[in-house]
Structure 1
Amino acid sequence: MKKYCLATFLFWLFGGWWGLHHFYLGRDKQGFLWATSCGGFIVGWLKDFSSLSRYTEEANEKYPLKLSRRPSMFSEMHRMLAMLIFSLFYRMIVANAVPTSVPSYNLIVLFVAPVGTAFGAYMVSNVSHISLSYKYPLIGAYVSEALFGVSHFMWADSNIILVCTVTCAICLVGWRERQEKIKKTKCQRFGLWFVLGLIVLGLWGSYFYHNAEVYVEELDGNVKLSHVFRVYFASEKWAELKEVLLDSTWIFLETGDFEQVFDRFSDDVAKSEVRNAFRVLGFNKDVEIDDISLADLKSAYKLGAKKWHPDKVSDPEKKEEAQNRFMEINEAYMLLERMIKRRMRD
């Protein structure tokens, strides 16, 4: 089916960050790279604008049947740079997905990370009219990992870059011109990239669940992101928010007025936040923001912080609960402090 430059431009303009223009032109590998890296880290999406007509022409012509080697690496430096970036990117995704708490974490990373390195180099190598077997980057990744990774077991950044560079260089040996286009149905194409997309999302999910951390100023340290979410979803604050969401949904179904729903939702969320803050700091449930002063708030905060400060809890089983309560107290204090200061300014 013939491809049109105008359609390519529209896909680039409205879906370029997800690689829609590449999927439209049959450049599925580059489309997947863009979809998983926000348009090639935005730079690739911008660069594509000057190449849309060439991409469309290539999509409408058959590749030569003659099999020949690619030019030297110096004539393909832009591709070499892209291979290095994406091999580093996918290696990072795979390595970060391994939970740091598992036994022999470093050995597992040394074993599975080359798969990500090879995948990034392979995908870039096969963009457009280039063809490369997956064995070349995979062998290159494991060989270079054995040479440089083991020499520095904790993986210095310089060694990671060296591994990826050697992998990309080995890929050059296997580059060939593609003999002919491989025909696949739309269902086959969609199924393949959908499954690979789910795998990438799963790897990101493993990272955020097991390894991602956020700095908590009140605790002067890092806390697992999954722990923060568990605490939030187990709190009364989330229970109230669920009720607000349910009420807003029923209002929308009854009235269909989005503006009314939004106003009601914003008002209910604000009231819910305030009620939760009062409860956390130990105020009476009937108290209003106009009934307390800044001095009252500071007094309640000091009492709660003194009781639940993690440094004052020696029992390891209760320390986690103390951290959670201390974070809630700080959040409640900052919210009410902003409201009282705004009232005083008004």
Structure 2
Amino acid sequence: MAAKSSTMPGKKSIFVAYFMWLFTGIFGGHHFYLRRDRHAFVWWTTLGGFIVGWLGEIFRIPRYVREANDDPQYVEELARRVIQNKKPPFSMNRFTGMLMVGYSWAQMTMFAIPPDSFWGINLRYLNLLIPVALGLDKARRQVVKGNKDKAKTEISVCDMDDSKAKPEGVWTVGNIGNEEGSLKWPLLGAFAAYPIRYYVFDDSIWFTIMLLASACAFDSYSKRWRRTPKKKTHNVKRVSILATCACIYLSLWCSYLYFHGTITDSEGDEVPIYEALHHFFTSPWWLDVKQCIAETYQYAQHHGWYEVWKQIIDLSDPHGEQNAYRGIFPAACACELGPYERLKAVLGVNRDSSQSEITSVWRKLSRENHPDKVKDEAERRAAQERFMEIQQAYEILSNSKHRRNRRNKKDNSDEINI
């Protein structure tokens, strides 16, 4: 019994709720804190109810906190409202928000459907899911706004834990908070108005008619008070469910951008994103990268991933040795500085040159590029910069040689001890 009670959340703080409302409010962070997960998800998908809903909550946070804490005074007030009203009363704020969110989600579902055949399959029949998405959004908004009027949001925690990730989630989402209703009526209203799209080709008109039909059906025939509260769920389960819902919503955005998005090339021509991606994955650059990844994987299979990591560290030049060679040996062009063998062909030195050879080259270049030999002020400044580069490069290479010598001495001493 004690273990069970330890997993239950404690009392919620008004200060923390306002803090999260201010900094994470448009993403629903304060609602997640108050265990209003569906409300949080709606705010995340609509950026705080199109900002307007987020701003309007500034005076409702104390009531949300009382709901989350099961405040006795609030519970008594809710019971009195349930007795006075046989059915939850109509709320214009809730109804308007329901239409706005439903319109947004239904539009997103429609745009996510490929307009043309995809892999030879015509997916236009998926447009029949638009009324389902619409009904889901309306019911979800019903929850959000339902908590604004006469709601006990202790029940509006993440109730998506049952079979609620299915299409039947329309009915479930419409049953959070202090209100509940059946799935049948909002779906019947949406599907009854859906054929209008074949006679009215303006999306804004037939979408609005379908929204009104579904919302009115739910509000008139399906809505009723919730009598029994839902059980609270563990935070891990809440996060996993919200993450799943977020992935589904983001997949709609990805589908919309993939099939309907365009990019503009350097000549000002618009190219569909799906065509650009197809050409990208067949481009020489990507094929080279793919080949490089395959070779790296094969190398790791034979030598181990630690050797791959060592190669990455060496190529990143953490001590600046490769750049130092560029500073000391300016006669070598950029293309000659890649392999150190080319440095030897150009100047007779390479990375394995001794300290005395590097010192000799450094002294020679220091004399040739000394600023005192230049009379012109502009040329003297350039010579001074060049002189400083040579000094810095010499210092880096000298330190590198000293480190290498210390490692060699240490390895030799270890062998002798063995």
Change beyond 3 A, Cα 1:2–1:214: same
| 2:214 is equivalent to residue 167 of structure 1 | yes
Shift of the alpha carbon at 1:93?
1.6
Conservation of the 8 A alpha-carbon contact between 1:132 and 1:175: yes
Give the corresponding residue for 1:83. Answer: 98
Conservation of the 8 A alpha-carbon contact between 2:113 and 2:124: no
- Which is worse superposed, 22-31 or 136-145? 136-145
Shift of the alpha carbon at 1:201?
1.4
Q: How does 1:206-245 map to 2 (within 5 A)?
A: 206-214=255-263, 218=267, 220=269, 222-231=270-279, 234=283, 236=285
Change beyond 3 A, Cα 1:49–1:250: farther
List per-residue Cα deviations over 1:213-232 (Å, max 9, x = no partner).
Answer: 34558354x42123334545
| 2:46 is equivalent to residue 37 of structure 1 | yes
List per-residue Cα deviations over 1:15-48 (Å, max 9, x = no partner).
Answer: 2122011111122111000111222222222222
List per-residue Cα deviations over 1:304-342 (Å, max 9, x = no partner).
Answer: xxxxxxxxxxxxxxxxxxxxxxxxxxxxxxxxxxxxxxx
Q: Which runs of 5+ in 1 are unaligned?
A: 265-284, 287-346
Q: Within 2, Cα distance between the matches of 1:86 and 1:6?
A: 29
Give the corresponding residue for 1:189. Answer: 238
**Aligned-partner SS, 1:69:** coil
Q: Within 2, Cα distance between the matches of 1:197 and 1:203?
A: 10
Give the corresponding residue for 2:88. Answer: 70
| 2:23 is equivalent to residue 8 of structure 1 | no
Give the corresponding residue for 2:204. Answer: 157
Greater helix share, structure number: 1
Change beyond 3 A, Cα 1:219–1:26: same
The amino acid across from 1:159 in the alignment is W
2:134 to 117, 125, 133: 117
Q: Within 2, Cα distance between the matches of 1:197 and 1:80?
A: 24
Give the corresponding residue for 1:199. Answer: 248
Between the two proteins, the alignment pairs up a number of residues equal to 251
Give the corresponding residue for 1:344. Answer: none
Give the corresponding residue for 2:33. Answer: 24
Shift of the alpha carbon at 1:237?
9.2
**Aligned-partner SS, 1:223:** strand
Conservation of the 8 A alpha-carbon contact between 2:88 and 2:179: no
Q: How does 1:193-342 map to 2 (within 5 A)?
A: 193-214=242-263, 218=267, 220=269, 222-231=270-279, 234=283, 236=285
Q: How does 1:83-162 map to 2 (within 5 A)?
A: 83-102=98-117, 106-109=124-127, 111-127=128-144, 128=147, 129=151, 130-133=178-181, 134-146=183-195, 148-152=196-200, 154=201, 156-162=203-209
Give the corresponding residue for 2:157. Answer: none
Change beyond 3 A, Cα 1:49–1:183: same
Q: Within 2, Cα distance between the matches of 1:105 and 1:157?
A: 22
Change beyond 3 A, Cα 1:46–1:157: same
**Aligned-partner SS, 2:271:** strand
Shift of the alpha carbon at 1:168?
1.4
1:59 to 64, 68, 77: 68
Q: Within 2, Cα distance between the matches of 1:119 and 1:108?
A: 16
Q: Within 2, Cα distance between the matches of 1:177 and 1:92?
A: 30
When the two structures are superposed, what TM-score results if normalisation uses the length of structure 2? 0.52
Change beyond 3 A, Cα 1:22–1:235: farther
The amino acid across from 1:166 in the alignment is A
Q: Within 2, Cα distance between the matches of 1:196 and 1:53?
A: 28
The amino acid across from 1:70 in the alignment is P
Identity %: 25
